[in-house]
Amino acid sequence: MNGKVFIMDHPLIKHKISILRNKHTPTSEFRHLVEEIAMLEAYEAFRDLPLRNEEVETPLETCMTPVIDGKKMAIIPILRAGIGMVNGVHALVPSAKVGHIGLCRDPETHEPHEYYCKLPDLIEERLAVLLDPMLATGGSAVDAVNYIKKAGGKHIKFMCIIAAPEGLEKLTNEHPDVEVYVGNLDRGLNKDAYICPGLGDAGDRIFGTQ
Ligand code: PRP
Ligand code: URA
């Protein structure tokens, strides 16, 4: 496999994913857990954010102290299900701007269709953090990265909660420069291109639709 892939091993992430998988977990709890897992993954994914020293006056004296340096951030959920992850990441980096990429898989071909896209300005200067709980065939993630790159985006991190090996391979082959953060790598896809064991349809479970 090409690329930079980080599979999460934190027990809190694993535990919370297990609750997500349970078909009896109600919508409100599901939504809350998706947000929490996104925050925990972001904590790992942002380990390499560069720091610079800044002068700060404490109540006692002046000191040089590290602050996050450099690029601004764009948080970009793939609609709909990616929206469920936004608040968890935004809570850690409140200054980030939020873009949206609307993609929907065709139920027959499993190919993604684009229906809405809007990115923040200066995308070429921002770290783009692309969010989608599910990386199944990889078609949606690849299309979303293509869109961000066409708009000028250069540094992209993709965060998902569950990935299938098929999707991970496609994304890392087509975009080896993208850093991919995965909550859990599952067994594979079924004939309908759903991840198994997975958690079902993430969008429907987050928004309470069928
Ligand atoms: C789901 C999921 C991903 C996509 C993954 O979205 O949220 O975006 O499928 O599948 P892929 O890797 O095979 O492209 P869906 O198209 O069902 O839309 P929704 O979020 O609006 O439910
Ligand atoms: N989209 C989902 O929401 N779940 C899957 O298992 C595959 C694609």
Structure tokens at 112: 């993604």
| Whether residue 135 has its Cβ less than 6 Å from ligand 2 | no
Nearest CA among 154, 149, 158, 163 for reference residue 131? 158
Residue range 27-33: mean pLDDT, rounded: 98
Q: Are 127 and 74 in contact (CB under 8 A)?
A: yes
Indicate the average pLDDT of the chain.
96
- pLDDT tens-digit profile of 177-187? 999 999 999 99
Residue range 34-53: mean pLDDT, rounded: 96
Q: Does pTM surpass 0.85? A: yes
* Nearest ligand, measured from the Cα of 136: 1
- Ligand 1 — pocket residues by CB below 6 A? 78-81, 103-105, 110, 112, 132-141, 167, 193, 201-203
For helices 165-174 and 139-150, what crossing angle results, to 10°? 20
**Given a cut of 70, is residue 1 above it in pLDDT?**
no
Q: Are 128 and 153 in contact (CB under 8 A)?
A: yes
- pLDDT tens-digit profile of 51-83? 999 999 999 999 999 999 867 999 999 999 999
